[in-house]
Structure 1
Amino acid sequence: MSDNAMDAIVIGAGHNGLACAAYLARGGLKVRVLERRSVIGGAVLTEEFHPGYRNSVFSYLVSLLDRDVMADLELEKHGLTLLHRPGGSLSLLPGDHMYLPRDTQQAQEAIARFSKADAQAYPAFEAMLEDMGELVRGVAKDIPPNFGGGWSDIWRLIQQANAFRRLSPERQIELSELMTMSIGDVLDRWFESDPIKGLYGFEGIIGNYATAYTPGTAYVLLHHVFGEIDGRTGAWAYAKGGMGAITQAMASYCESLGVEILTDAGVAEVVVNNGKTSGVVLEDGRRFSAGIVASNTHPKVLFGQLIDVTHTPPAFQQRIAGYQSESATFRMNVALSELPRFASVDHDERGLAAMQNTIDICPSLAYMNQAYDDAKEQGWANKPVISMCIPTLLDDSLAPQGCHVMSLFCQHFRRHLPDGQSWDEVKEQVADTVIDTVSAYSPNFREAIMGRQINSPLDIERKLNMLGGDIFHGKLSLNQIFSLRPVGGYADHRMPVEGVYLCGSGAHPGGGVSGIPGKNAASVILKDRKRGAI
């Protein structure tokens, strides 16, 4: 290869790719980032989708973003501002609603309208989740021990086991149950009323094609509560200007260290000779050499599209072929001429504060299961589970004065439709179904819509190269987490081709805007380089 060589190439300028590049540059390496699209950011992106209206296109909230990544990459200095929400959740119910503020007593009063027993159980349930969130956060930040690894893997296993040991016996039992049980079974044990079960049940199927009673869905709840904002476990915030502000700040930091970021630079091949990489070939024929290639792509894109799997051991080939990837997610943005009026929520101080948070349509576990059954039969839910946010209640930079934008994150929508149907043919019709579902709770919603942006599972796959439209780069099922992510024996970011590393959400701890996979991959690369392994 004849180009000006770099020490490392990072494939993909999403948040994990940029985090990896930043840490490599901090370690003294010359780094080039190659992005297939004409814009950086991957799923952490802000776009104008209707004249004068901007919003986050895919990911839409901040919580999992690691505090060390924020500090090390000086994201605030480079333009990132977080807008804190009051906290809590607003659940829309037929003819009613339930708003749970962060204040425990007020939340209990709201729950008691539906069940006094559930109101009494709520503080203990929240305390359990907070304890688990702190533990899972620590595990998420560490590189998992590898099967068949050396002393360093054994030491990491001992450290993580010690964190488990420090839990009380009751918490140890609860954690074991949360790691293996369904979200429905867990919630049935704690609560009796539908509204509280629906509110927490949704957390088990976010980006997860499953029923409320699919084993392992309780872990997905844990995955979403290990985040924090200003030390508050499970809290969420908006990024001012949309989620693209995160990746713009990361890119600014990278460039301050001399990282070269190229767009419209899709990689066609990671070059492998004698079991070792020497660089990449782009789709336009350009060649870039480097002894280190860190890939922020889906694992099956890396091995299958960019690298022929025959370069890997047979056991790896078998496992990566079986890697599961489908989140059944449908993502929309709408531009609104006015604020939606939900029939049961007043536009007073309390109601507007509630609407600054996440607004969910998931009134019961049965509703969730019906959405799954519909999608299994026809490809999409007739009444989808929907999580809505109106960031313009806190960030007026996203829309004209007096107007608003809303994000809608919807389940369940299969990537592959039955009877030969194509998402290109039906996505407008399906988007109408989403609008119909929201309009049943908000009489002015349909008329307020000025424009809309639709991303079907196929759109997500095409635009982001997330196979199966999976927003997590692969299911967060029990066989694809921790030391089994992406597959057993390769959980430490080192792939079975020398010099190739996985730095995206297909690595531990999985999806969500954390930056942890990128940070940890860089630490492994720098360690290998220091000891002369690459």
Structure 2
Amino acid sequence: MTQRTQEFYDTVIIGGGHNGLVCAGYLARAGLSVKVLERRHIVGGAAVTEEFHPGFSNSICSYVVSMLSPKVIADLELHRYGLELIERADGMISITPEGESLVAGAGKERDAQEIGRFSQKDIAAFEKFESDMEEMAAMFRQIAETRPPNMGGGMLELWNAMKLGNHLRKHTAQQHEKLIDIMGGSLGDYLDSRFESDILKGLYAGDGTTGNFVHPYSAGSAMNLLHHEFGNINGKSGKWWHAKGGMGGITQAMLKSAEAHGAKVETNAAVKEMIIDGDPADGSGTVKGVILEDGREIYATRIAANCTAHILFTKLMNVETLPESFGTRIKNFRYRSGTLRMNVALSELPQFTALKNVENATEELTRSIIICPSVKYLEQAYTDARMTGYAQRPFVSMNIPSLIDDSLAPAGKHVASLFCQHFNPELPDGKDWDDLKDEAAQAVIDTVTETAPNFRDAIIGMQVLTPKDLQREFSLTGGDIFHGCMHPDQIFSMRPAARFSDYRTPVKNLYLCGSGTHPGGGVSGIPGRLAAEEIMKDARVKKRKTQAA
């Protein structure tokens, strides 16, 4: 029998999603030996491009980019390694079943023209809203890019808190009030207090509920608006871009960057369990390596997990061996974004009734197309999902990337990404998503066809990802696209737990580097970068910029 050679690395990273690749890229550039282990056949996690119907490819899960950190792009030289970002039309367009449309966020003059058709008062209100969002996004961006202070961490953490406090001190009391208002308030109340037209409120209620399975009048639900606004690619705050070739274009550039500096990446390499010496409950536990499902053992000085905290601590080890308070926190951490994703191959573009008399209607379709005519509509979608499992008339955010990227579909054909809410990951009455999948997909198709009568007949093929599919295929616990709810009690110094927001865990040399850590979900790369910085501190190596061989 052939004896396998034992593998040893400075760092092993579990999961080749975008944050795992970012972490690997930074560590490899610092001179550490790095091995990335990815369960699927392709790296990228939820930021991948795959063929879902013969001849049609798309970004399978995440689908547009704004939050990707400019620092990550620059440090890892992602443009050098193939990243190409295509500018999309500014703003979003709301399409209603009644045949109305509204474009917002497209520039002061266009916004005034569009919003004024529904409310003259909302013209000035929206201008102030955009100004406030940009102002708060700048404040939040600094918080997002900084490792949060650990609760009860002694003088070092006090110093970290003081540094962050010094940044916030530079802002006025009014700016602090605005930030607290959106961080703690409800989405519905926030929009009701600013606008009077239902269609404008519905447009931003839909945007603010993305990946957030809560009632729109729940406290803390307004925060999601800000989370989606802090992106600043090419100095354009809150703007959304398309990655050439789909979101896989981002993670393939990250892969090439990491490999160029020595990182080793293996696909079809699922981790089964952790190798731990000592007892984590009394603080003596130290990670030594991992055991793969194929039986191999790979050893490392440090392990960084890009999976959810739930998978790491309840699937890859025994959560009962952890300190009681931490274990309880992990078991109670909430995962439910309430999301269903569809990728659709189309024989022709949707012909929206609301745009039949609009000049250059095709250009309007290069924006995000939102079906959420009011906050009340969103309330009903949430209530349906709580009571029956899914919204009968869901919120739908549609993007048609083939209009600006001809690499995704055959000539004359198109692909559409449909991001849909609300779809309860925990179905009532013992129902199973495998049984409801087709039924739920038809609810989405019905909703879109109500606004674009040719949509159903234009469908050539489609891929439907329920919350169960997202968990099964992409290891997103509960189908949660953010690796855990982005609620006030699960962010910043509480993500994932008090005293462990610094990417470390109760097990020595074991780290988290995914979206279940600060600043949370979205394709930003920030958790991977911040985790890498903490690993480099512990390894006593300095970040350095090196040129690939």
- TM-score bracket relative to the smaller structure: over 0.9
- What is residue 155 of structure 2 aligned with on the other side? 151
Deviations 1:238-272 (A, max 9, x none): 00101011111111111111111111110011111
SS in 2 for 1:225: coil
**Matched-pair contact (CA < 8 Å) for 1:228–1:236:** no
Counterpart check, 1:215 vs 2:219: yes
Distance apart, 1:26 and its partner CA: 0.8
Give matches, 1:312-323, under 5 Å.
Answer: 312-323=322-333
SS in 1 for 2:529: helix
Distance apart, 1:61 and its partner CA: 0.5
- What is residue 451 of structure 1 aligned with on the other side? 461
Counterpart check, 1:138 vs 2:142: yes
Which of residues 187, 192, 197 is equivalent to 2:201? Answer: 197
Instruction: Give, in whole Å, the separation in 1 of the partners of 2:357 and 2:30.
Output: 52
Counterpart check, 1:518 vs 2:534: no
Distance apart, 1:205 and its partner CA: 1.4
**Matched-pair contact (CA < 8 Å) for 1:43–1:57:** yes
Distance apart, 1:495 and its partner CA: 0.6
Distance apart, 1:9 and its partner CA: 0.2
Counterpart check, 1:168 vs 2:172: yes
Distance apart, 1:155 and its partner CA: 2.2
Counterpart check, 1:50 vs 2:53: yes
Counterpart check, 1:64 vs 2:74: no
Counterpart check, 1:423 vs 2:433: yes
Deviations 1:419-468 (A, max 9, x none): 22211112012101100100000011111110001100000000111111
Distance apart, 1:349 and its partner CA: 5.5
Instruction: Give, in whole Å, the separation in 2 of the partners of 1:199 and 1:444.
Output: 23
Give matches, 1:68-79, under 5 Å.
Answer: 68-79=71-82
**Matched-pair contact (CA < 8 Å) for 1:83–1:240:** yes
Which of residues 237, 241, 263 is equivalent to 1:237? Answer: 241
Deviations 1:201-232 (A, max 9, x none): 12321101111101101111111000123111
Distance apart, 1:107 and its partner CA: 0.3
SS in 1 for 2:353: coil
Distance apart, 1:144 and its partner CA: 0.2
- What is residue 87 of structure 2 aligned with on the other side? 84
- Matching residue's letter, 1:113: R
Deviations 1:445-494 (A, max 9, x none): 11111000110000000011111110000000010000000011100001
- Matching residue's letter, 1:166: K
- What is residue 344 of structure 2 aligned with on the other side? 334
Instruction: Give, in whole Å, the separation in 2 of the partners of 1:4 and 1:531.
Output: 22
**Matched-pair contact (CA < 8 Å) for 1:20–1:518:** yes
RMSD: 1.4
Deviations 1:29-49 (A, max 9, x none): 000000111111110010111
Instruction: Give, in whole Å, the separation in 2 of the partners of 1:349 and 1:402.
Output: 20
Distance apart, 1:348 and its partner CA: 5.9
Instruction: Give, in whole Å, the separation in 1 of the partners of 2:184 and 2:338.
Output: 21
Where in structure 2 are there 5+ consecutive unaligned residues?
279-284, 543-549
- What is residue 386 of structure 1 aligned with on the other side? 396
**Matched-pair contact (CA < 8 Å) for 2:9–2:299:** yes
SS in 2 for 1:190: coil
- What is residue 44 of structure 2 aligned with on the other side? 41
Which of residues 264, 280, 286 is equivalent to 1:276? Answer: 286
**Matched-pair contact (CA < 8 Å) for 1:46–1:242:** yes
Distance apart, 1:166 and its partner CA: 2.0
- Matching residue's letter, 2:179: L
Instruction: Give, in whole Å, the separation in 2 of the partners of 1:90 and 1:157.
Output: 40
- Matching residue's letter, 2:363: A
- What is residue 491 of structure 2 aligned with on the other side? 481
SS in 1 for 2:438: helix
Instruction: Give, in whole Å, the separation in 1 of the partners of 2:193 and 2:170.
Output: 25
Number of aligned residue pairs: 532
Distance apart, 1:102 and its partner CA: 2.4
Instruction: Give, in whole Å, the separation in 2 of the partners of 1:12 and 1:448.
Output: 37
**Matched-pair contact (CA < 8 Å) for 1:267–1:282:** yes
- What is residue 266 of structure 2 aligned with on the other side? 262
**Matched-pair contact (CA < 8 Å) for 1:341–1:347:** no
Instruction: Give, in whole Å, the separation in 1 of the partners of 2:78 and 2:360.
Output: 32
- What is residue 547 of structure 2 aligned with on the other side? none
SS in 2 for 1:58: coil
Distance apart, 1:90 and its partner CA: 0.4
Distance apart, 1:347 and its partner CA: 7.9
TM-score, normalising length: structure 1: 0.98
**Matched-pair contact (CA < 8 Å) for 2:275–2:287:** yes
SS in 2 for 1:152: helix
SS in 1 for 2:484: coil
Give matches, 1:295-374, under 5 Å.
Answer: 295-346=305-356, 350-374=360-384
TM-score, normalising length: structure 2: 0.95
SS in 2 for 1:130: helix
Deviations 1:87-129 (A, max 9, x none): 1110012221001242112102211111111112111110000
Instruction: Give, in whole Å, the separation in 2 of the partners of 1:4 and 1:349.
Output: 62
Which of residues 502, 507, 511 is equivalent to 1:501? Answer: 511
Distance apart, 1:315 and its partner CA: 1.1
Distance apart, 1:284 and its partner CA: 1.1
